[in-house]
Amino acid sequence: MSGRELFSSLLLFYKNKTMMTPQEQIADFTNQSLEGTDCFLIDFKIKPTNNYKIFIDSDTGFTLEKAIAINRKIRRMAEEAGLYPEGDYSLEVSSPGLEAPLKLYRQFVKNIGRKLEITLNDESADGLVGKLIEVKETTIIVEETSTKKNKKEMSTPVQTEIAFDDIKSALVCIEF
């Protein structure tokens, strides 16, 4: 690549970066801050007051230390880019919480072996409660222990394969 081509490429890259809204830049900084880590983005919400709520999970558990490190990286990039010179924004980095439904394939893989409460898209179905046994490309296998309506344990657990497209929500059951 000649010097002129390199300059043109850099200029195009720079123009594209500067044409991004602050919200798009914060989203880009979030993705950059997750590169090379075992963390992944679950959700990204923006309130009109420039309040960014970024929900992240990790394959090995999302700790306070990870949240702080990611928050600091994003803030540093925002400051270097001069996004909010007056500091009129807030940035919250956290896990989605135990009560949040599983959304991504990677979250299902992380929760193999845990008990889930699954609501199906088909309103006529009861949904089910059971242990997540396996995650495939387009389906999960759950060892069903009860239905959502009849929480009484089944005498013999049944393995059920469910397509991701059929899942309305899947919650991890907290067991003590």
Tally Cβ neighbours within 10 Å of residue 93.
23
Residue 127 is which amino acid? G
Fold of 105-172: SH3 type barrels. (2.30.30)
In the block, residue with structure tokens 């309305």: 168
| Class of domain 3-94 as given by CATH | alpha beta
Domain range summary for the chain, segments of one domain joined by +: 3-94, 105-172
**Mind listing the pLDDT tens digit for each residue in 51-90?**
999 999 999 989 999 999 999 999 999 999 999 988 899 9
pTM attached to this predicted model: 0.78
- pLDDT band at residue 157, thresholds of 50, 70 and 90? confident
Quote the CA–CA distance of 10 and 15 in Å, as a whole number.
8
> Closest by alpha carbon to 37, among 56, 9, 22?
56
- The structure tokens listed for 97 are 């919480």
Q: Does residue 8 surpass a pLDDT of 50?
A: no
**Positions of E strands within the chain:** 39-47, 51-58, 90-94, 115-120, 128-135, 139-147, 158-163, 167-172
Bridge partners (DSSP) of residue 129 are 117, 146
